[in-house]
Amino acid sequence: MNPVGFLLLFFLPALIILGLLLWGIKNPQAWLVVAVLAIAIGTGCAIYGLTLLLANRNASYGVTEGAVHLGGGCGAVVGGVVLLLLGLIRSRKSPTEKAAISAIPAGQAPPKIT
């Protein structure tokens, strides 16, 4: 594989996901996008690992290839669920923040709540 293909295949998706994770610190909805991607990729890897285990294909280094895919897929699903929960919890507004925003007269900027 040429170096450009290697970079596009492995590092570009990793940089995109890392960028979304960092953006999620400021905007929690970005974590929801990463969570859905992680759950989808993890489910696909877990299903692929199950089919490899059912086909009984063994890797040359002693660990079955299916077990590696199954473990990685389950880990991605768990990570996706955790990110989904974090994104949903962080995107909710507290009751005091909702009350403060609703008490603002029209045309004024909301106060900064810290």
Say if 79 falls within a structural domain. Answer: yes
Q: Note the pLDDT tens digit of each residue in 39-50.
A: 998 898 888 888
Q: pTM of the full predicted structure?
A: 0.63
Q: When comparing pLDDT for 61 and 79, which is higher?
A: 79
Say if 102 falls within a structural domain. Answer: no
Residue 85: count of CB within 10 angstroms of its CB? 12
Contact predicate 34/17, CB 8 Å: yes
Select the highest-mean-pLDDT range: 8-12, 57-61, 76-80, 99-103: 76-80
Mean pLDDT of the chain: 76
Say if 74 falls within a structural domain. Answer: yes
Say if 99 falls within a structural domain. Answer: no
Terminal C-alpha separation, the chain: 51
Say if 62 falls within a structural domain. Answer: yes
Domain range enclosing 31: 13-94
Burial class (CB in 10 A: 0-12, 13-18, 19+), 90: middle
Say if 108 falls within a structural domain. Answer: no
Say if 105 falls within a structural domain. Answer: no
Say if 112 falls within a structural domain. Answer: no
Token pair 């004024």 is at which residue? 108
Q: Note the pLDDT tens digit of each residue in 79-108.
A: 889 888 888 887 666 666 666 556 666 666
**pLDDT at residue 74 above 80?**
yes
Number of domain units in the chain:
1
